[in-house]
Amino acid sequence: MRSTERLFQIIQILRSTKAPITGRELADELEISLSTLYRDMAELHAQRIPITGEAGVGYVLDDGYDMPPLMLTADELEAAALGAAWVASEADPSLSRAARDLVVKLSEAIPKELRPVVLDGSSKPIQTHAKVQERFDGALLRHAIRKRYRLQLVYADREGQVTDRIVWPLFIAFLDRARYLVGWCETKQDYRHFKTERVQELKVLGDKYPGRRAALLKGWEATTARR
């Protein structure tokens, strides 16, 4: 690991916890010697990174500190590029476009020497199936999820039976080459998973469902665990 990468990693470790971390713990996690760690800490102090340390207690990063944007390692950039490439290949058209735009913005914002990591990384998703075709705009569904709007669905089940549902949308699940809308169904008074390619019509209603989305998600997790 290069020195600059270690410095960023030290900051990330300290940011991840409020409790002091000893020099030995940091050195062991980074797989370096204590002397190397002390040199790195001296370099961070020289760069005015607000790290305080006390012998026998450990190091703490002061509250409110954040790293400059896009100060990312090669692996972090490749992870972002791989995730964006997967979304571009698997998500609905509007989210796919957003993923491709993200890659372009990343490549323009990072140093020139790191651009090949984003534009021609060592990891790529392979698509071996046709993309899911949906009859609605995925951007509208995501907007409804974020704003907690109720939905009206015309939905066909696996036998082809069509029903009209009122749904509180919670999230979109990607599972086994399919996409599902997970939500609370007013019609069935239970959590339901709607395969998005079977949604015949989707209308965003003007009112919001009651309660907190976080509480509904916990309820879904508990219900799923019982089943």
- Are 77 and 117 within 8 A, CB to CB? yes
- Are 102 and 84 within 8 A, CB to CB? yes
pLDDT of residue 7: 85
Give residue limits of the domains in the chain. Answer: 3-61, 74-119, 138-226
pLDDT digits 0-9 by tens, 108-156: 888 787 888 888 888 888 888 888 889 999 999 999 999 999 999 999 9
Contacts of 148 (CB under 8 A, 6+ apart): 168, 208, 209, 213
Pick the CATH number of 3-61 from 3.40.50.1970, 1.10.10.10, 3.20.20.70, 3.40.720.10: 1.10.10.10
CB atoms within 10 A of CB 128: 5
CA 170-94-163 angle, 5° bins: 45
For the ranges 5-9, 144-148, 161-165, the lowest mean pLDDT is seen at 5-9
pLDDT of residue 218: 94
Q: Does position 4 have pLDDT exceeding 80, yes or no?
A: no
pLDDT digits 0-9 by tens, 53-65: 876 789 998 876 7
How many angstroms separate the Cα of 24 from the Cα of each of 30, 55, 59, 170? 10, 11, 11, 44
36-41, long-range: CB < 8 A, 24+ apart? 37/10, 40/3, 40/6, 40/7, 40/10, 41/10
The reply to whether domains 3-61 and 138-226 share a CATH topology is: no
For the ranges 38-52, 68-82, 84-98, the lowest mean pLDDT is seen at 68-82
Q: Rounded distance, CA 205 to CA 179, Å?
A: 22
Determine the CATH number of domain 138-226. Answer: 2.30.30
Q: Which of 43-47, 101-105, 119-123, 182-186 has the highest mean pLDDT?
A: 182-186
Q: Which helix or strand (DSSP H or E) is residue 74 part of?
A: helix 74-90
